[in-house]
Structure 1
Amino acid sequence: MVRSSPEAAVATGDDPRDYARLLAAVYDATMAGDRAPARPRAVIAESWEQLMADGVDPARHRDPLVESDELDALRRRSGLVGVLEEMSRGLGSLTADGDNIVVVADSRGRVLWRSGHASVLQRADSLGFVEGAHWGEGAVGTNAIGTALVSRQSVQIFSAEHYQPSHHTWTCAGAPIRDPRTGRVLGVVDVSGPAATVHPTTVTVVDLVARLAESRLRETHDRLLNEIRAVSAPILAAVAAPALAVDTDGWVAAVGSVPVCTRLQLPGDPAAGPAWVPTIGWCDFEPLPGGWLVRVVRDGAARDESVTTVVVDLIGEPTVRVSGRQGRWHRIVSRRHAQILRLLAQHPAGRSAAELSVDLYGDDGHTVTVRAEMSRLRRQLPGLVAARPYRCADGVVMQLRPDGVASDTSSAG
């Protein structure tokens, strides 16, 4: 994928103080619904418009802190532990003078780590910019972490481009870190500091460090697959039935008497017993160092269920739990995606992009945004959501908890 160069918030040669005064006037006019003296940058305008449409109050909205024990678990699951030291080292030149801090957040904008000079960290504390804090757009508005996650690009935010007035004395630059295997965003690396420290090259450096982190993640995964391949080779040679060796995420390291593929969709708990694997059928799973030996069960086809049950759990982090024809697995989804699934469950006949725009935003003027969200949702939940109109796929039974609202869109039998 070709990436464009990240856009600096303040151009080389511009006076940051003059620009900050202009941004303050633009911000005040925009929030008051008046004509602004200038239009903010496109990424800022889109962020503000979406936040205002969602009813986010720039003065009061903030999510609670993540508990310390949960924070440790989020760090382990983030997939970023192995590149943390390298990112900190790569950004050392931006923090050496003590004016900036480095922050790493997860894919939902929760601050996992931060480092920097004590004086700047104390200033960050006063904003709630601490480990465990939610820093997505829905929690604190436009900022380099949340806006990088929404836009999926590196961004620099300066002064009154921030949605919350309390952040107008700050500047920040954030870059998304993608899983090189899937393209899924794992998190964001961010450099933040007082507005006076803004520099046009900061966002370029942060973007470069994020790309280097992705390269290291790719190298680490390749080494893991080679290790699994070496361990599994003699086993696959001795197994009479079709089998594969995969890592814990289903990436294929080696195959034996099975059509070559790149990745398997593993069940939520492979150790629980035989499970249905799409494109292959029923399989047994045996643990390998770093992954699984997957044996195809030849007589398993008769055990395939006729429907797939999808339970959307709306308590806490929205979670989709799948069982039946497509195996057993689960995914954590965003609140927006949970809201869309609830609408699909309540409208078995389906909803058009325009209808979903009205449902979600109050008018039909956001169809492009809806289609983009549906595309992401369908990639995250393969085979569960159909299009034209958007609806539960044939053979899918969707249930909502704790609502108890259910929609049976199964056409099987």
Structure 2
Amino acid sequence: MADDGQRPDPLESNTTMCSELSTSHDLPSGNPPAGTLEQSPLEIPPYILNPAEEGPQYALLLRDWIAEELQADAHSPLRVSLALGAVEAAFTATDGALLTASDLPALVATRAKIFQAWVSDVLLPRLESTQTPREKVQAAAAAVWTMLAAGSYSKDVLHAQHLHSFVALLTSSGGVKSAAKRQLDCAGVVITVYAACEVLAARHGHADLCGVRVQVSEDHCWLSLDGSGRRDAAVELTTSNAALRGLAPGAEAWSGWLYAGGRAHTLTQRQVIASLVVSVDPTVVNGRAKKVSGQLAGLQLLLLRQLQAAEAAMYPAAVCALAAVQQAWMNGGWHGELEVAPAAPQACGQAWRWPWHLVTAGGTTLDRELCELSRAECMPRPR
């Protein structure tokens, strides 16, 4: 794997290519009609960038990586999730940690190798007694959960939603780095298992995992074994009850709000890339004080607009997230750090965390019409 700035291929030496499944039950992509969402030129403000950096290399690197991923025959979340997680950690750290553009390729390449080694050395042996895709996904989830400290899972934990958070727990031999916080949120568990399934399919001959897809509702996420959206194909991963982990949600739960009444959105492989950008959280926490990293929020807007311009890369909740972040930008933007509103209204969203407070950063609320045009349902988040 190259560390010289060229694209590090997380799935080099592929034996299986998981191409996008075309199914009649796929929901609309969420892209509004052409011209609906204004795409005025958006320059990269200097305060998005690390002050130590020269020019826009930092933002352009992430933009180019996402563009390459969208053009690939098979879309993998590995590199983008690792990169976004590292960038988020750098911008939201309270200890002054910096990450330069020149650091990022080598960091991502190294951590991709660590994750692949964990799949090969730790997860793969667990599949020897498995036969069905559900059993394999269940084994992958169990392997992820063994890396978490008891009681450390939290749906609302900050900055624990990317593969970067999981790989921080690992060494090259698959052990635990004692200094790392052993925790993931809902999205962190799901994206880690999903990425593991892709590595197993591409590198280890488990082609029956090619059909695994991510599903999102307004406040939750899980996996579908075949992308059908049916309850019997759904796999719950984020319950702390090991006996229920890997099973399909119960019929009563499936019909409730958490699973969008059985009509949750099934993400295509391209849309998973968008979900990673949506999940970026620019909240900086220092004790009880919370602020927003203007640099990170601006970078999120840049990448969301890039995805909006790409074919079928967005989905309803992602368009709503773009509308909210863009509206905050248009009503004053972010310069440095902003204080977080103590009781920001909640609007259209999804399980993948995005900064709800940015809706009020400019003193306005989300433009509901943008969501309607994208065929998204805007409603207050259940409490």
Query: Normalization by structure 1: what TM-score?
Result: 0.29
Greater per-residue strand proportion: 1
Bigger relative contact order (CA 8 A; separation at least 6): 2
Computing the radius of gyration from Cα coordinates, the structure with the larger value is 1
Query: Normalization by structure 2: what TM-score?
Result: 0.31
